[in-house]
Structure 1
């Protein structure tokens, strides 16, 4: 089932995945490029990439990840483990009549994209990652690592673990919370380096306590915020947060891939002002070993976490240049 959104040139489509419906938005024809969003977003975070990739000769498809937007939201917490999300991506490729695709992800979507390439190299022949670099599975359980971060403060991933806890903070004012969260991680609105870190929660506090007050980030208009808020006001946040509640399960599920490199042609784009690239600087330095097929790695100066929204023109140029080398426009994707 598909419907045309004439105002934007996007086609909205629903396909069947392992857990039920998967909502897609697509534009263009040519080799398939699958775009996977992060937290707390939706297909809409790729609104600036869909037309650019379509104009360059690609079939660009952005999905709502399981638990988000108009896609299925299974009730069980453990229905959001990484292997389930990889299976969803494979189902999308096949439902669209293709045998293979390039996959690009942002934030936790970058991790989903990387693992899709790792687990199903037969389907995903190239992998692009924005904001969050590839980190091979290994070391102690993630829950133990996150619990040891921050000293007397609580890392946001640990804060997200208890079902209902973060939801109680966010859902009474979804729009306001999203505005603050987006601003906290945007280069033009984030607090100064001496301010309390918004990735951590103080004793007895909330994440929102550390969000900056002031205008929206330059990339986020009131209409854009309405789109994001409208989706989460309808769906709630549990499906989105359940991704974080499966990281220890993923660690166990992916044991066979311990230390494994991601061999396909790859791309990484991050921002110099993004905590992800700062904390994971060692992972970026390890790319010659962990990403032997790396084509390009770029840090955009003065860019925060929301790379493709903060700097759409640069991101689009990097994506199109990379795609031209790994999947020339007009070639068959099967």
Structure 2
């Protein structure tokens, strides 16, 4: 495997995205895997062996704000269009224009949905874990009482300075609490939280929430084959958003309901691999 830096810029700020790429060619093309909050590309460690066995070359990336500093400081640097542009830049740097299977979890799923919607020529299939299409999620967030309650934590996270103080207090105790109700071990959780405890490292990930606006819910339907994985004990996503996801896919679509928590790739890597197999 090779580690590459993809150079990016926002205004006067230059920064890099860190991507890990399989060196060997694969029989069935490439898979791009996008993580969410508050994790990093190591989220996919349990998924990668199975995806490689399916004959896919894997590309993982620490997304904008998650790679080592420096990263952008402006909130508008974390708007969804900028995050999608990062994914396209990673594809340009690693795939020579081939269409790829995209796998995303949490915020990574939101980016994957938008990538498939706006750049369908670059995406041959989509696996979205935990977070449904932004249109379905946005509609539920506006009008569904259950989803509003589940998403109340976003108000804190969108206040970057306050959230940084609250989440980092007491050695990141409240940041670790995001994984409550999961089966993740303490060592795994520590592996996600430890980078966030470094000075300044949490600000970029929090800026994703601060930059979330109408652009998020305005993502059009996707027109590529899609598998959506939801969990029956996901504390962040309610039933309405899950059920309405199908309305935002104008292509072959499968919804797989799983036991477990929001952290599907950690708890059910086999289900993620099976979803990729289905698209192949």
Q: Which residue in 2 is equivalent to 1:168?
A: 165
Matches within 5 A, 1:106-255: 106-136=105-135, 149-150=148-149, 155-182=152-179, 184-186=180-182, 217=183, 219-222=184-187, 224-234=188-198, 235-248=200-213, 250-251=215-216, 255=218
2: CA distance, partners of 1:171 / 1:157: 16
- The number of residue pairs the alignment matches comes to 270
Indicate if the aligned counterparts of 1:296 and 1:322 stay in contact, CA closer than 8 A: no
Matched, 1:25 2:20: yes
Q: Which residue in 2 is equivalent to 1:105?
A: 104
Shift of the 122–250 alpha-carbon distance from structure 1 to 2, 3 Å rule, reads same
Match of 2:62 among 53, 61, 64: 64
2: CA distance, partners of 1:85 / 1:174: 29
Report the alpha carbon displacement of residue 139 of structure 1 after superposing the two structures with TM. 7.2
Shift of the 174–79 alpha-carbon distance from structure 1 to 2, 3 Å rule, reads farther
Q: Which residue in 2 is equivalent to 1:6?
A: none
Q: Secondary structure at the match of 1:247?
A: coil
Larger radius of gyration: 1
Shift of the 137–55 alpha-carbon distance from structure 1 to 2, 3 Å rule, reads closer
Unmatched segments (≥5 aa) in structure 2: none
Shift of the 139–179 alpha-carbon distance from structure 1 to 2, 3 Å rule, reads closer
Q: Which residue in 2 is equivalent to 1:299?
A: 257
1: CA distance, partners of 2:208 / 2:214: 10
2: CA distance, partners of 1:241 / 1:265: 31
2: CA distance, partners of 1:70 / 1:102: 26
Shift of the 239–138 alpha-carbon distance from structure 1 to 2, 3 Å rule, reads closer
Structure-1-length-normalised TM-score: 0.72
Report the alpha carbon displacement of residue 178 of structure 1 after superposing the two structures with TM. 3.5
2: CA distance, partners of 1:138 / 1:169: 26
Shift of the 292–228 alpha-carbon distance from structure 1 to 2, 3 Å rule, reads same
Indicate if the aligned counterparts of 1:22 and 1:72 stay in contact, CA closer than 8 A: no
Shift of the 134–185 alpha-carbon distance from structure 1 to 2, 3 Å rule, reads farther
Matched, 1:45 2:43: yes
Shift of the 109–97 alpha-carbon distance from structure 1 to 2, 3 Å rule, reads closer
Match of 1:316 among 246, 263, 273: 273
Report the alpha carbon displacement of residue 141 of structure 1 after superposing the two structures with TM. 12
2: CA distance, partners of 1:154 / 1:135: 14
2: CA distance, partners of 1:133 / 1:72: 31
Shift of the 291–141 alpha-carbon distance from structure 1 to 2, 3 Å rule, reads closer
2: CA distance, partners of 1:144 / 1:177: 28
Q: Secondary structure at the match of 2:160?
A: coil
Indicate if the aligned counterparts of 1:18 and 1:87 stay in contact, CA closer than 8 A: no
Shift of the 79–91 alpha-carbon distance from structure 1 to 2, 3 Å rule, reads same
